[in-house]
Amino acid sequence: MQRKGHTVTHTAQELEAMTQRGDSRSDWTRAAAMTSEQIEASVASDPDEADMVMDWESATIEMPQPKAVLNMRVDQEVLDYFRKTGRGYQTRINAVLKSYVSRMRQDQH
């Protein structure tokens, strides 16, 4: 088991073992017995799902693009700032750059 913030990840084997031990908080038997209408009603009654409408007709699958290896120079204060944010700082640097590129593309149109 790995913990990252509030998210916990398990391997398939760990999940199977948990289910066999009865450690799962999900009632899969009850869920499997529900009709589509019951599932829709359950989702509709969930306050977190209020007014959420999924347009599955226009849904697309976005495959992640491979990352390019880059050796670049940045100001020390920039690197220090991101490093102080902890693990994943390179991912955050990428997110900032990606956001910038997206904004610049919007401005060009």
pLDDT of residue 89: 94
For tokens 């904004």, name the residue.
Answer: 103
**Beta pairing partners, 4:** 7
DSSP H helical ranges for 8-88? 12-21, 28-33, 36-44, 76-84
Residue-wise pLDDT tens digits, 12-55: 898 888 888 888 778 878 889 999 999 888 888 888 877 777 78
What does each C-alpha distance from 88 to 2, 93, 94, 109 come to in angstroms?
15, 9, 10, 32
Q: Give residue 43's pLDDT.
A: 83
On the question of pLDDT at 96 being above 90, the answer is: yes
Domain chopping of the chain, boundaries: 1-52, 64-109
pLDDT tens-place string over residues 49-94: 777 777 888 888 888 888 899 999 999 999 999 999 999 999 999 9
Residues with Cβ within 8 Å of 3's Cβ and at least 6 positions away in sequence, in order, are 9
CA 4 to the chain's CA centroid: 12
Most distant CA pair in the chain, distance: 59
Average of pLDDT values for 98-103? 94
Reported as a pLDDT band with limits 50, 70 and 90, residue 1 is low
Q: With 70 as the cut, is the pLDDT of residue 4 above it?
A: no
